[in-house]
Amino acid sequence: MKRIFDLILSILALFLLSPIILFVAWKIKENLGSPVIFRQTRPGKNGKPFNMIKFRTMKDVLDIDGNPLPDTERMTSFGNKLRNSSLDELPELWNVVKGEMSLVGPRPLLMQYLPLYSDEQERRHEVRPGVTGWAQINGRNAISWEEKFKLDVWYVDNRTFLLDIKILLSTVKKVFIKEGISAEGHVTIEPFTGQTQQGNGDE
């Protein structure tokens, strides 16, 4: 039922939002150049890698060694507006159509975090990652990694169709009030380093 719901709603959203998606793509091309899409390998269900797509929000600026500059130096006011409105997430609807993501689930993080999780935290990969999730409506990037992981695992253990509906409706509200977009002092949130607490690596 969840997969059917995901498929129908994501296809409908892509159709209804296509004018907005095309407009955002044009504005990114105008402000940041090509490419307009940001692609990155992320862990999906059971940790299986997939290519997640988002709208690009940062400039491609490298240091003298060819490494990307810190996010704070690559982020623009235009990119901030995209993130604050969550419009940069719209292409992920295609990942939902392909079955790589769900509308609701733990957010797909970076591949390099996989070895850093505790056994309990790793359970967030028992379901498909989501465009939004329980952690996103309960603090998003304004909460600690530890809190975020606990919320992700709680969702895995308590997920229902009605809970997904609640999360989707709450997400719409959070987008409008622009709450929890970033952690203090960071463009989004500080990197997860696998620091431990009582023997467990926390996000």
Spatial contact of 102 and 127, defined as CB atoms under 8 Å apart: yes
Q: Return the half-sphere exposure (C-beta side, CA atoms, 13 A cut-off) of residue 19.
A: 1
C-alpha neighbours within 13 Å on the C-beta side of residue 86: 18
Instruction: Provide the pLDDT for residue 121.
Output: 94
Three-state DSSP class for residue 97: helix
Rounded to two decimals, the pTM is: 0.83
The residue ranking higher by pLDDT, 81 or 15, is: 15
The chain-wide mean pLDDT, for the chain, equals 86
pLDDT of residue 61: 63
180 contacts 147 by C-beta, under 8 angstroms: no
pLDDT band per the 50, 70, 90 thresholds, residue 183: very low
Instruction: Collect all residues with Cβ–Cβ distance below 8 Å to 54 and sequence separation of at least 6.
Output: 37, 38, 40, 88, 89, 91, 92
